[in-house]
């Protein structure tokens, strides 16, 4: 049986995942970290079920390079699929090992044991704990391996437990985020940066900056400029004043801002990435042929809390506290940049504002590590709102061009997709250079990786570009952009947001061209019973066939996808109203993520994904001008507000006969598509370019009038 996680190879012993503490607790270790997605509760549920212990007995060590197993990044909706599967295996092996030892010591059969709260209880009532058994067979326990045998949960009586999130109380009461951490003899720092990631200072008055109230030290290393002081409030004011005292060179940025025109202009490289079925250079003759182009702009992470990190340097090396999603890769990159051994750098995860992607967390961690290493200070660095919205990585823009033919039987016989996009992944450790903004500034010869994208089947720009439907001849082409006007990296769902929006919008347009209901048209091209089930279920929830006529100002739209074509299934219907803007009244969704591990956590993931997708699809777009990125505050980069949160009706399919599937990003693409299709139903006019704000809707109406 294949191992569920490569971490089981890098951490092959059970005692690398589990420690029996002196106070009777179970210290459990994982490389997957809490990003606000509730994964800590889900992993606790898995571990408690596998070990037969209570959540109150569990302490997690998550994302600590000194003691956690290296499980790569916490990304891609893989925390349950990969991290959860790894812990289910570890827990099963540990439980089997100690159940065998307990049965021998208690002179009974394993099947006669009752496992309760970490105690193996015999029919006579005698009990032995994990801790006592481990102490009695110390050598055997520490030699137990998890990488070379299939876990076998021995049959015994256990008690069901329900794990709850234990991170929320501290977050609600003010001490649960990295911004709340403190160190002895702590200094604060702000790094001076221009309005674009590749800005360079051309006029810097260090004397005037050093004289600003609150600035006690100024660190200038090549093009890296840090203001340091004890009083954080005074330092924030000084940082704003220092920006006014500094002039910056700005890269030449394109004057074209409309994504659908910009990206094809930037295209230099083109290659057929996947060809699922033989295709011809020209479409197979068919009575209905359609070609349409869709796009999404660059999108910011726009976390409410800005990036933050702390660092402490001593004779042994550097300790860094970060809300990075990949602490091991970050450790390696910091060590490489500072010319240290990896064992001299320890990175510990601490929760920050949720981002679901590569935001500024890794960059600010380097800022703190560099300052601590250079001057031996205990330092806390926090970015400003402008930093967060200008120099951190953005989600990549995409243009999606689809051409298809439908035959007389109403079946798609030919499908070709072309995608224009830059890379969707520039995380630390991805590529052959250093992906840390501060290192590029501070180190003259710091190598920057050559852009590359994630290949299929996972895909970056091509994530979910392969339609989920039976479409006959199929060709997928990626026009990869090796340059971008803004810095780009991973953002929730990568290319799936744009690709599903395009595919599902196009499915509606195809169905209209042949006079078939969009729901029926989809079902006619779906053979996967699980896909059909989620679509049919959400249609019943929303009473799809009673949705009304086109052009009334109220609209209903449907969207569907299976994330990455292999993870969770999601079908979604949105009810919207269009007046001066798009108002979302209600969203129905049906999700099949296989066996549900933690229902509340899964529900929260889907709800959060829908709200974020509404914000992206209706409001968000990174903008720039000759002075740099100008969408640098909430006025110029609006997001969904609380007053516009719609009613949500989520139905979860508990497919217990199937493995648990990734679900954190399943709703993003279907939600965007449902909104686009609902707008078309409400207006009788198709808006193909995100965001679906007033300007884009007016543009679509004008273009429709010209056709």
Give the chain's domains with CATH numbers.
7-158 (3.30.365.10), 188-196+200-249+307-383 (3.30.365.10), 259-298+395-424+459-706 (3.30.365.10)
* Low-confidence winner among 80-89, 254-263, 291-300, 418-427 (lowest mean pLDDT): 80-89
The larger pLDDT score, comparing residue 440 to residue 37, is at 440
Whether 312 shows a pLDDT value over 90: the answer reads yes
What are the φ/ψ torsions at residue 619 (nearest 5 degrees)? -125, -35
Is it the case that residue 641 has pLDDT exceeding 80?
yes
- What b/e sequence results for 434-443 when a residue is b if at least 16 CB atoms lie within 10 Å of its CB, and e otherwise? bbbbbbbbbb
Q: Is the pLDDT of residue 237 over 50?
A: yes
pLDDT in tens, 502-511: 999 999 999 9
pLDDT tens sequence across 145-185: 988 766 566 667 677 788 888 888 888 888 889 999 999 99
Q: Which helix (H) or strand (E) holds 158?
A: strand 157-158
Task: Look at strands 186-191 and 378-382 and give their pairing.
Answer: parallel
Interatomic CA distance for residues 157 and 151, integer angstroms: 18
- Neighbouring CB atoms inside 10 A of 125's CB total 7
Mention every residue, 6+ apart, whose C-beta is less than 8 A from residue 195.
248, 250, 386, 390, 627, 628, 629, 630, 632
Return the minimum-mean-pLDDT range out of 202-211, 303-312, 349-358: 349-358
d(CA 16, CA 432): 29
Residue 412 has pLDDT above 90, yes or no: yes
Instruction: Over range 669-698, report the average pLDDT.
Output: 97
Whether residue 665 is predicted with pLDDT greater than 70 in this model: the reply is yes
Write the pLDDT tens digit of every residue in 444-485. 888 888 889 988 888 999 999 999 999 999 999 999 998 899
pTM: 0.94
Does residue 615 contact residue 637 with C-beta atoms inside 8 Å?
no
Distance CA 221, CA 359 (A): 24
Note the pLDDT tens digit of each residue in 529-584.
Answer: 999 999 999 999 999 999 999 999 999 999 999 999 999 999 999 999 999 899 99
Q: Which two tokens stand for residue 286?
A: 């068919």
pLDDT digits (tens, 9 = 90+) for 133-142: 999 987 788 8
pLDDT in the model for residue 128: 96
pLDDT at 100 over 60: yes
């Amino acid at each position: 049986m294949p191992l569920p996680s490569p971490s089981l190879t890098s951490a092959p012993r059970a005692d690398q995942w589990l420690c029996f503490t002196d106070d009777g607790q179970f210290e459990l270790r994982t490389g997957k970290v809490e990003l606000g997605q509730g994964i800590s509760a889900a992993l606790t549920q898995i571990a408690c079920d596998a070990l037969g212990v209570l959540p109150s007995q569990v302490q997690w060590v998550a994302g600590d390079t000194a003691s956690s197993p290296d499980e790569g990044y916490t990304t891609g909706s893989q925390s349950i699929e990969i991290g959860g599967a790894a812990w289910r295996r570890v827990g099963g092996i540990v439980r089997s090992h100690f159940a065998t030892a307990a049965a021998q010591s208690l002179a009974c059969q394993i099947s006669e044991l009752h496992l309760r709260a970490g105690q193996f209880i015999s029919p006579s009532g005698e009990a032995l704990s994990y801790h006592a058994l481990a102490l009695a067979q110390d050598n055997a326990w520490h030699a137990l391996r998890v990488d070379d045998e299939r876990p076998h949960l021995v049959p015994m009586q256990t008690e069901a437990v329900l794990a709850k999130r234990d991170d929320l109380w501290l977050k609600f009461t003010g001490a649960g985020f990295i911004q709340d951490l403190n160190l002895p003899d702590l200094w604060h720092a702000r790094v001076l940066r221009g309005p674009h990631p590749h800005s360079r200072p051309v006029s810097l008055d260090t004397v005037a900056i050093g004289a600003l109230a609150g600035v006690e030290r100024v660190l200038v290393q090549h093009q890296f400029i840090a203001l340091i002081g004890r009083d954080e409030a005074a330092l924030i004011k000084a940082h704003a004043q220092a920006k006014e005292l500094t002039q910056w060179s700005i890269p030449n940025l394109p004057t074209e801002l409309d994504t659908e025109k910009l990206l094809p202009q930037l295209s230099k490289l083109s290659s057929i990435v996947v060809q699922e079925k033989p295709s011809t250079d020209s479409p197979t003759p068919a009575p209905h042929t359609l070609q349409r182009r869709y796009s999404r702009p660059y999108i910011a992470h726009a976390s409410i809390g800005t990036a933050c990190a702390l660092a402490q340097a001593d004779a042994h090396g550097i300790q860094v506290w970060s809300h990075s999603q990949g602490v091991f890769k970050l450790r390696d990159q910091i060590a490489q940049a500072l010319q240290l051994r990896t064992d001299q750098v320890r990175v510990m995860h601490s929760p920050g504002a949720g981002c679901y992607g590569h935001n500024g967390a890794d960059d600010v961690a380097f800022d703190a590590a560099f300052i601590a290493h250079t001057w031996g200070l205990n330092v806390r660095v926090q970015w400003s709102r402008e930093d967060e919205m200008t120099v951190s990585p953005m989600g990549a823009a995409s243009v999606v061009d689809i051409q298809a033919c439908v035959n007389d039987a109403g079946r798609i016989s030919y499908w070709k997709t072309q995608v224009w996009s830059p890379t969707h992944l520039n995380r630390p450790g991805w590529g052959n250079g250093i992906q840390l903004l501060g290192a590029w500034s501070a180190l003259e010869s710091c190598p920057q990786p050559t852009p590359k994208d994630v290949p299929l089947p996972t895909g970056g720009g091509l994530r979910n570009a392969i339609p989920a439907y039976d479409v006959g001849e199929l060709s997928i082409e990626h026009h990869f952009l090796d340059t971008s006007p803004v810095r780009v990296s991973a953002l929730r769902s990568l290319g799936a947001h744009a690709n599903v929006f395009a595919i599902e919008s196009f499915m509606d347009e195809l169905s209209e061209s042949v006079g078939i209901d969009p729901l029926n048209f989809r079902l006619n091209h779906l053979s996967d019973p699980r896909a059909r089930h989620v679509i049919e279920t959400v249609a019943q929830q929303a009473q799809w066939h009673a949705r009304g006529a086109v052009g009334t100002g109220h609209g209903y739209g449907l969207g569907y996808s299976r994330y990455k074509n292999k993870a969770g299934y999601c079908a979604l219907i949105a009810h919207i109203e269009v007046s001066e803007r798009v108002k979302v009244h209600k969203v129905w969704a049906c999700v099949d993520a296989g066996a549900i591990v933690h229902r509340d956590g899964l529900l929260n993931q889907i709800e959060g994904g829908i709200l974020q997708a509404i914000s992206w699809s209706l409001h968000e777009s990174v903008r720039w001008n000759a002075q740099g990125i100008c969408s640098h505050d909430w006025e110029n980069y609006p997001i969904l507000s609380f007053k516009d949160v719609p009613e949500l009706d989520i139905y979860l399919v508990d497919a217990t006969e199937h493995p648990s599937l990734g679900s954190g990003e399943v709703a993003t693409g279907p939600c965007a598509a449902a909104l686009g299709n609902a707008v078309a139903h409400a207006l009788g006019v198709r808006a193909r370019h995100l965001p679906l704000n007033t300007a884009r809707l007016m543009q679509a109406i004008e273009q429709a009038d010209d056709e």
